[in-house]
Structure 1
């Protein structure tokens, strides 16, 4: 995979805002998402977000925010005024880059699509739509509440309001064929502007899909079939000028998600909201943050303690090295080995690198960066585990 992305030693600083509520729980989802029958008190949550943002700002003085991401859950269930208030709170605590990327995840129902104009006015300049499938039968099987027609309408509306937008599709779905997936991809490409996220369905622990699979009521493609679907994905997207810049994300050059690049390049980010994670650098070293997952408990803790953190851990050099490999090798641009050495305090094992190169799993770029090869990406986890050992 060609790389034209890597530019600077400083990946940037980001703010992640987690909105944990959904209208329903998808059977494949293991994210921190919750369904509530009663309306959510958005004003109370805004106050708690303000408190958490002020707390993180004290730990990250002097940073300039280059990306803001509203994830979930379903952030498009928030009122546009709630989004605006949170963005105002971020601007009150940090310097915000004039070219900041502000992304909001949205479900493509007609009601939420009608909110797009309000989000744009609030300061959102990029949306990411959870389309997942482009036919009603598969959408129903995936537990999605929207129809294919609603999804296509939402994509069209997003394109008319936002200069930058993306949408997700999922493959390796039950009974999915290579021919059907290729046709679906081509249909998606016609509606995409310059970015698509394509995720392989995985059966996560403690999900409804896991229980159905274990009961013999859900059959997903086997490893060989999944590999065929992977191969046609790469071939189709490459021909469309949307190569993978990360294992599951495809974009034209310059249209990559800046927020996720900060994660994958091992930059700094703060996370606020129930179940959010963060990584910040302090004079004592890099720290891992995570917040209380339960929404109402998170509210109570923030209102009582001034923040929702339940984990604030100083990472060891070994842990930093492992995280750096795990994140950076997802990118087609790969990693800078000297950066790994600076973080971990050790060099990569030359014999392991040589062995993986001989097997065609990794390669060195002309700039000396180490990256996973096209042949290695389908078995990325094994490659990373080998290098980190």
Structure 2
């Protein structure tokens, strides 16, 4: 099967994900690969990430220029504009970065308030994703954030003066949060004027501080039915405000503000993952590989020095794995999935009787080729995916 014939790969988008693992403060809900920044020098890790980008080129001879670059974490806004520019220069030298590429930087509000935003713009950043999380001081304290509501508002306002494309993150469905409280807060969030909102229900992972508090009986997560009520309110309010959902948790004022990088994940494109703990998906010669870098920064740096890469051998994804991933990720997006693409990959028919049953319930739309979830179906995305996956 040739590269262009495969139902996955860079023809569906090609991105670079850079994971910067350091944070000035670790949040109690965070399940990402993060470490306290302390007074560490950034230089050894920056050098290792640049080396990791370089070693990917000979492994991926058929890939063209990058469509997107995403700096995530952790807190990549702790990096200086010159350090970001240096990594982008390496990526451009090694792969090329397309003209008009989307280059996103995740940032905390306090970093935005003291950052050289024009410097970030000059470095190549085109989009900011700001971790506001809440506009209520008591909620921010509960979430372990190091900013308050006033600084969050000021950060968004300052960012919008320089970057037309700004996304803000919020966490809702917090324990004991009422539907009226979330409605008021979401109204305030919409009033900030950002063209993109990422609105996530609080997920409590076992190994986090919140997870341990739940295990001790000190924290009671919100009831799923109450969460569903808040989700439905979220959909109606954002739609009325002109920021409808284009994915389960993501809302945009228009197609031009949708996250192009995330769409690579959802649509089965390729991305290189560099930095400690970063994941990647790379297609070469009709095969697809999953990579995961060493998690600890010291081990990651040592791997790059010894092996030339933050990861050793990538694992091969088999056709059924790829098909299941395509359906799970693709159904999150409003565009849905091409059923034939899944069937080509898995060599297994997607059960039409189940599709018909879900259509009758009002959970999915199916035109004979494209299958997509309705807003009601998004509430049941995982269950529907498990029923349809080969």
> In which range does the TM-score fall when normalised by the shorter chain?
over 0.9
- Report the Cα offset of residue 116 of structure 1: 2.3
1:215 shift after superposition: 1.6
Q: 8 Å contact 2:243–2:252 — kept in the other structure?
A: yes
Q: How does 1:1-389 map to 2 (within 5 A)?
A: 10-37=11-38, 39-61=39-61, 62-109=63-110, 113-254=114-255, 255-310=257-312, 312-365=314-367, 368-389=369-390
Q: How many residues align?
A: 380
Q: Within 2, Cα distance between the matches of 1:311 and 1:94?
A: 21
**Kept after mapping to 2: 8 A contact 1:71/1:105:** yes
Query: Per the alignment, do residues 34 and 286 of structure 1 end up closer, same or farther by CA in structure 2, a change over 3 Å counting?
Result: same
| Bigger mean CA deviation after superposition, 106-115 or 70-79 | 106-115
- The verdict on how the C-alpha distance between 1:238 and 1:111 changes in structure 2, with shifts beyond 3 A counting, is closer
Secondary structure of the residue aligned to 2:100 is: strand
Paired residue secondary structure (1:280):
strand
**Which sits farther off after the overlay, 247-256 or 68-77?**
247-256
Tell me if structure 1 keeps the 8 A contact 2:243–2:251: yes
Preserved CA contact (<8 Å) 2:168 2:194: no
Tell me the SS of whatever aligns to 1:25: coil
Equivalent position SS for 1:173: coil
The alpha-carbon deviation at position 56 of structure 1 amounts to 1.3
Contact 1:290 1:311 in 2 (8 A): no
SS at match of 1:375: helix
Helix, strand or coil at the partner of 1:245: strand
**Cα shift at 1:112:** 5.4
Deviation at 1:297, TM superposition (A): 1.1
CA contact (8 A) 1:18 1:273 kept: yes
TM-score by length of 1: 0.94
Deviation by residue 1:167-186 (Cα, 9 ceiling, x = unmatched): 00111012211111111111
Deviations 1:1-20 (A, max 9, x none): xxxxxxxx932110000000
**Does the 8 Å contact 2:160/2:166 carry over to 1?**
yes
- In structure 2, the residue corresponding to 1:319 is in which secondary structure? helix
CA shift, 1:111, in A, is: 6.4
Greater CA drift, 58-67 or 322-331: 58-67
Which sections of structure 2, spanning at least 5 residues, go unmatched? 1-9
For structure 1, the 5+ residue unaligned runs are 1-8
8 Å contact kept, 2:112–2:155 = no
Worse overlay, 354-363 or 64-73: 354-363
Distance in 2 between residues matched to 1:333 and 1:120, nearest whole Å: 31
Deviations 1:124-154 (A, max 9, x none): 0100000000011100000001111111111
Contact 1:166 1:192 survives alignment (8 Å) = no
RMSD (Å) for aligned C-alpha atoms: 1.6
Q: Deviations over 1:332-384 (max 9, x none)?
A: 1100111112222222122222222222221114x831011221111111010
Q: CA deviation at 1:29?
A: 0.6
Displacement of 1:193 after TM fit? 2.9
Q: Is the Cα contact below 8 Å between 2:69 and 2:102 reproduced in 1? A: yes
* Contact 2:77 2:111 (C-alpha < 8 Å) held by counterparts: no
- The 8 Å contact of residues 104 and 129 in structure 2, kept in 1 or not, is answered as yes
* Cα deviation, residue 118, structure 1: 2.1
- Give, in angstroms, the shift of residue 311 of structure 1: 5.1
User: What is the distance in 1 between the residues matched to 2:165 and 2:217?
Assistant: 42
- 1:193 and 1:106 map into 2 onto residues whose CA distance is 14
Deviations, residues 253-299 of structure 1 (Å, cap 9, x unaligned): 22101100111011011010000111111115011111101111111
- Structure 1, 112-121 or 96-105: larger mean CA deviation: 112-121
Matched residue SS, 2:29: coil
Note the alpha carbon deviations across 1:291-336, whole angstroms, 9 max, x for none.
Answer: 1011111111111211011450111100000000110000111001
